[in-house]
Amino acid sequence: QIVYSNSSVLLNTQELVMLNARIDNSMSEILHLSRLQLEQTLNNLSEPKSILALHRMCDAIGLLDCVLMFVTHITLSENYVRPLVSTDHPLALKAARHVLLDARCGLQMSNLSHQPPRCVPNDVYLSDSGTRLALISGSNRAGKTTLIKGIAQICVLAHIGCFVPAEFASLPLLRAICVRSGTEDALEQNQSSFSREASEMANIFFKLSDLERIESQSSRDSRLCRSPDAGVDTRTTLVIVDELGRSTSYSEGVAFAMSVAEALCKRPGVLSMFTTHFAELNVLESVHYSVSSFHMKTALMDSNPSVSGSRQFTYLLTRGSCRDPGYGIATAELCGFPESVLTTAREVRERFSDLRQDQEAKSQLRANGHTQSEKDEFEKWVSLFRRLHNHIHSIRLLRLSNLDTDSMRTRVHRLQANVLRSLSAAQEFISNLHKAPFS
């Protein structure tokens, strides 16, 4: 059989036609049998026993993959340690690093031969008997959010059985990690940015109250069972708060953030890390011994801190509040703002600063509070109290360390001398109080 077309000629025979028909029939039969087999397999898998076995197999494969990645990542990474986790341990991290940032820097370091990037480590210490709340301030892009998220990731890794990126890690047994971060609104829930912040913080407080209720119930049940340890939940809760109160007016934002920070520091069994740009929150350190102020250190390279490029970020967590003015305008300049707008912003900031200083001077003249000498005595007392608490924390950390005998003896002698010096200063201060008491 010959068939002519426009640009081709088709040649065919009866035998080829029959073979083609057999191939089509075979393909139809294969599809039919495959469909029947697939339906039978799906019917078998739809049984409860088969679904349960399939879920168990998926869980086993996922767990095996997770453990294998732990081993692979730790083998290829450096300076990972096994964390110490217990109900009475503080949150003590030495040279802690952000997990993802450390992995990225390690990957870039293997690909670069000159000036490789490095992940800056930081030391963190929180304890239920000492600093419960760490107030962290600093300029924009200084690394505040990266730091607190890295601490939360280290806690998660430690609780799932993985080594952590640090030189030393001691963590309490956590019952929950509560995080409030971001400034996005929620259109589907008809929530503005501040409404979402308030809603998230309300949920955190509700969760803390619920955990306290469960712990109280467990304590009562243990007393009924005449067992002091049975059923008692002595675990700790970690709360991460990133930039609270930015989406409302300045005065209300400061008030809201200060009230939240004060409520968190008063809760036993709750360790908190609170980042903020509100300098007014640093007053909590002088009121509550469980609050400590920190900032992300920034080196000023120019006499005018508002000039773009005048800062060098060190990404180091440093004790004390932030003393770096004008970082907001400098960040805006890096984003490409017109110079006329930036100049106006600097002038307005200077006027507000002068007005605030005048108001503070007038309030000092009208104040009928303590004299300067009384305030100095009170600050000295607070300083002595903090030094004694720091000695207690040092003793607890020394008990958890793995030092040899000689190093341990040297540290103990040095700590003993510091404790005796602090006790002597406290005794002298108390004797002076009896001679000349202040209200």
Which has the minimum average pLDDT: 172-186, 405-419, 424-438? 424-438
- Helix 405-435, helix 372-400: angle, nearest 10: 160
Cβ atoms of residues 239 and 264 within 8 Å: yes
Long-range contact pairs involving 336-339 (C-beta distance under 8 Å, separation at least 24) = none
Give the pLDDT band of residue 271 (cuts 50, 70, 90): very high
Centre a 10 Å sphere on the Cβ of residue 244 and count the other Cβ atoms it contains.
25
Which has the minimum average pLDDT: 130-139, 177-186, 325-334? 325-334
Which has the minimum average pLDDT: 80-84, 229-233, 291-295? 229-233
- Whole-number pLDDT of residue 110: 52
Q: What is the pLDDT of residues 277-295, one digit of tens each?
A: 888 888 888 888 889 999 9
Sign, CA dihedral 268-273-274-279, equals positive
**Mean pLDDT of all residues in 133-150:** 89
Cβ atoms of residues 259 and 281 within 8 Å: no
Which has the minimum average pLDDT: 32-36, 111-115, 340-344? 111-115
Asked if residue 113 has pLDDT above 50, the reply is no
Centre a 10 Å sphere on the Cβ of residue 439 and count the other Cβ atoms it contains.
6
Q: What is the pLDDT of residues 376-402, one digit of tens each?
A: 666 677 677 777 777 776 777 777 667
Q: What is the pLDDT of residues 338-367, one digit of tens each?
A: 888 888 888 887 777 777 666 666 565 555
Q: Alpha helices of 77-167 — where are they, by DSSP H?
A: 99-111, 144-159
Q: What is the DSSP string of 372-405?
A: HHHHHHHHHHHHHHHHHHHHHHHHHHHHH----H
- Whole-number pLDDT of residue 438: 44
**Mean pLDDT of all residues in 53-58:** 89
Q: Sheet containing 291-300: which strands, arranged edge to edge?
A: 174-180, 236-242, 270-275, 133-137, 291-300, 311-319
Phi then psi dihedrals of residue 14, to 5 deg: -65, -35
167 vs 5, higher pLDDT = 167
Only one residue has tokens 């929530």, namely 191
Q: Which residues contact 267 (CB under 8 A, 6 or more apart)?
A: 132, 208, 212
Asked if residue 231 has pLDDT above 60, the reply is no
Half-sphere exposure at residue 83, Cβ-oriented, CA atoms within 13 angstroms: 30
- Whole-number pLDDT of residue 58: 92
Cβ atoms of residues 302 and 153 within 8 Å: no
Percent of the chain past pLDDT 70, that is, above it, reads 81
- Cα(305)–Cα(312) distance, rounded to whole angstroms? 11
Three-state DSSP state, 369: coil
Which has the minimum average pLDDT: 45-49, 224-228, 434-438? 434-438
Three-state DSSP state, 436: coil
Exposed/middle/buried for 426, CB within 10 Å: 0-12, 13-18, 19+? Answer: middle
Q: Which of 257, 306, 305 is nearest to 280 (CA)?
A: 257
Centre a 10 Å sphere on the Cβ of residue 294 and count the other Cβ atoms it contains.
24
Give the pLDDT band of residue 59 (cuts 50, 70, 90): very high
64 vs 419, higher pLDDT = 64
Q: Do strands 91-96 and 168-172 pair parallel, antiparallel, or not at all (unpaired)?
A: antiparallel
Asked if residue 169 has pLDDT above 90, the reply is yes
Q: Residue type for 270, please? A: V
User: What tokens appear for 173 in the block?
Assistant: 């047994």
Phi then psi dihedrals of residue 426, to 5 deg: -65, -40
Phi then psi dihedrals of residue 409, to 5 deg: -65, -40
- Whole-number pLDDT of residue 177: 93
Give the pLDDT band of residue 10 (cuts 50, 70, 90): confident
Centre a 10 Å sphere on the Cβ of residue 233 and count the other Cβ atoms it contains.
17
28, 33, 49, 53 from 124: Cα distances, Å: 69, 65, 49, 44
**Mean pLDDT of all residues in 32-48:** 87
Cβ atoms of residues 237 and 270 within 8 Å: yes
Give the pLDDT band of residue 136 (cuts 50, 70, 90): very high
Phi then psi dihedrals of residue 70, to 5 deg: -55, -50
- Whole-number pLDDT of residue 212: 83
99 vs 216, higher pLDDT = 99
- Whole-number pLDDT of residue 323: 74
> Mean pLDDT, the chain, as a whole number?
80
- Whole-number pLDDT of residue 176: 92
Cβ atoms of residues 94 and 63 within 8 Å: no
Query: Tell me, what DSSP letter sits at residue 280?
Result: G
- Cα(100)–Cα(106) distance, rounded to whole angstroms? 10
174 vs 71, higher pLDDT = 174
